[in-house]
């Protein structure tokens, strides 16, 4: 799928892509159609020794099927239950796909990544029947107070798509996009246990679009980490989760770590705007990120910037709906879970929050609007507009800003951009327009850590009133 096509053809997505500006000439997603890959070659894992009995290790069969189809074709995992005892690293490959119609279940106990895809291009992982899933049985580890492997990790993968599958009960992170480029993730559901360290989607790279995804866990929902540039996250349903976030930003986030040959191939570099070249070479580590249409319920926060050093600029967070979350809008430049980075602390500049509404759990205990910037490097050009959150418990709430310059609510206006300490304001009446609709299938409790999490069906809606940008590949 091509970003320019998105601009012309998609309603909400066109607006969000337009905000990212310079991505419109780069192809997003696989370059070769699924039909062409199927016509080129099909490598069914059952032809290489896999058995759908839930016990026989399918790791060697998946690797053998990949070796046979790496230069073009489809690694087919048919309906049935396939055990994975030994993890697989699929390195290289071009114009290939994995079609997951059945369920992969974890039977091995190693750490690392159950499926690890690296140095690949023109790749697609999807379920042609809409029933494909990975079941990590993470509860076996969590019941003992331990973590295990991640389910799925991509590293240095370009022009890719992951869609129409379920990732369930990972022993650790569910999906990680590590230094990936020009990719798309959509029409997915992730169900993890009610515990930290079970991230839904973590991503960093260039030109990535994550949309129409539901996440349950108690840590990151969909989180952008450093370095990242030109990222769009939209139509996300954080259904009993930690909530979306950016960070943590720490000592290693002082600038882009991409190889120039990977991120900007010669012809791309020639076409880059001067601003993007400056962003790369002058060390902006998170820039040009848009979160649009984010629905969050019973989570730790609607969105959190968590840092103790690093740089963030040109970020837009718009059209957020929340219900009963502990925090709502939350910038914490002194996040205690990491050590302080060297230098002056985090640099936040040109961040816009627009059209937030709904409720927090208790606005008198945890401020729904909380902007804590470093005194050594105050935030600049912060805009908060159309923010209407009210408390579920009690009849008051407060806003808190520290060393943050911009416009709206408790921010300081003007051009001084110096430290000024902490400013708070108390509300004793609900703000106008806070009432917001709810989503179907809202969870009222997280999934336990001592029993298996059932595999859900991928839903057809992820944000109130928004139609998924891409139809389900199969069925409803």
CA 349 to chain centroid, in Å, comes to: 22
State the DSSP code for 278: H
Residue with tokens 């407060």: 398
Phi, psi of 345 (to 5 degrees): 95, -170
Q: How many C-beta atoms lie closer than 10 Å to residue 435's C-beta?
A: 11
* Alpha helices, H only, 116-244: 139-142
Task: Name the catalytic one among 163, 174, 230, 323.
Answer: 323
SS3 386: strand
**CB contact set of 318 (below 8 Å; sequence gap of 6+):** 290, 291, 292, 352, 353, 354, 355
Maximum Cα–Cα distance across the chain: 69
Q: Which long-range contacts (CB under 8 A, 24 or more apart) does 257-262 make?
A: 257/179, 257/227, 258/179, 258/206, 258/227, 262/156, 262/158, 262/179, 262/181
Nearest-angstrom CA–CA distance, 72 and 316: 38
Tell me if the bond preceding 70 is cis, omega within 30° of 0: no
Nearest-angstrom CA–CA distance, 388 and 427: 11
Known active-site residue 219 = yes
Picking from 22, 26, 25, 28, the residue whose alpha carbon sits closest to that of residue 278 is: 22
Tell me the residue length of the chain: 476
Known active-site residue 323 = yes
Task: Name the catalytic one among 199, 219, 285, 332.
Answer: 219
The residues annotated as belonging to the active site are 219, 323
């Amino acid at each position: 799928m091509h970003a320019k096509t998105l601009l012309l053809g998609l309603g909400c997505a066109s607006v969000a892509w337009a905000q990212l500006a310079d991505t419109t000439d780069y192809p997003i997603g696989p370059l070769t159609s699924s039909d062409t890959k199927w016509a080129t070659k099909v490598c069914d894992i059952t032809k290489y020794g896999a058995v759908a009995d839930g016990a026989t290790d399918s790791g060697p069969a998946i690797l053998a099927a990949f070796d046979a189809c790496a230069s073009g074709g489809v690694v087919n995992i048919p309906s049935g239950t396939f055990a994975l005892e030994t993890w697989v690293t699929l390195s290289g490959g071009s114009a290939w796909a994995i079609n997951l119609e059945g369920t992969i279940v974890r039977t091995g106990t190693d750490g690392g990544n159950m499926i690890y895809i690296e140095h690949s291009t023109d790749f697609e992982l999807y379920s042609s029947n809409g029933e494909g899933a990975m079941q990590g049985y993470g509860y076996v580890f969590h019941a003992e107070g331990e973590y295990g492997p991640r389910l799925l990790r991509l590293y240095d993968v370009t022009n890719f798509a992951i869609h129409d599958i379920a990732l369930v009960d990972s022993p650790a992170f569910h999906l990680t996009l590590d230094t990936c480029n020009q990719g798309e993730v959509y029409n997915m559901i992730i169900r993890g246990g009610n515990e930290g360290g079970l991230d839904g989607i973590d991503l960093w790279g260039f030109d990535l679009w994550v949309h129409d995804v539901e996440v349950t866990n108690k840590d990151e929902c969909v989180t952008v980490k450093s370095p990242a540039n030109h990222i769009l996250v939209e139509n996300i349903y954080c259904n009993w989760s930690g909530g979306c976030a950016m960070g943590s930003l720490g000592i290693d986030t002082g600038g882009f770590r991409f190889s120039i040959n990977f991120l900007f191939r010669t012809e791309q570099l020639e076409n880059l705007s001067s601003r993007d070249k400056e962003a790369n070479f002058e060390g902006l580590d998170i820039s040009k990120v848009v979160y649009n249409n984010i629905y969050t319920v019973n989570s730790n926060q609607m969105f959190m910037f968590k840092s103790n050093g690093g740089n963030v600029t040109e970020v837009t967070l718009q059209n957020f709906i929340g219900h009963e979350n502990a925090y709502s809008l939350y910038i914490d430049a002194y996040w205690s879970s990491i050590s302080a980075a060297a230098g002056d602390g985090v640099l936040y500049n040109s961040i816009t929050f627009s059209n937030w509404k709904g409720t927090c759990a208790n606005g008198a205990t945890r401020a729904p609007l909380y902007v804590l910037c470093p005194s050594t490097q105050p935030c600049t050009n912060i805009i908060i507009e159309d923010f209407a959150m009210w408390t579920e418990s009690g009849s008051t709430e407060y806003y808190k800003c520290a060393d943050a310059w911009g416009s709206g609510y408790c921010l300081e206006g003007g051009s001084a951009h110096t430290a000024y300490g902490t400013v708070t304001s108390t509300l004793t009446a609900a703000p106008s327009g806070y009432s917001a609709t709810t989503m179907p299938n809202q969870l009222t409790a997280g999934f336990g850590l001592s029993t298996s999490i059932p595999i859900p069906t991928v839903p057809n809606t992820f944000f109130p009133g928004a139609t998924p940008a891409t139809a389900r590949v199969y069925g409803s």
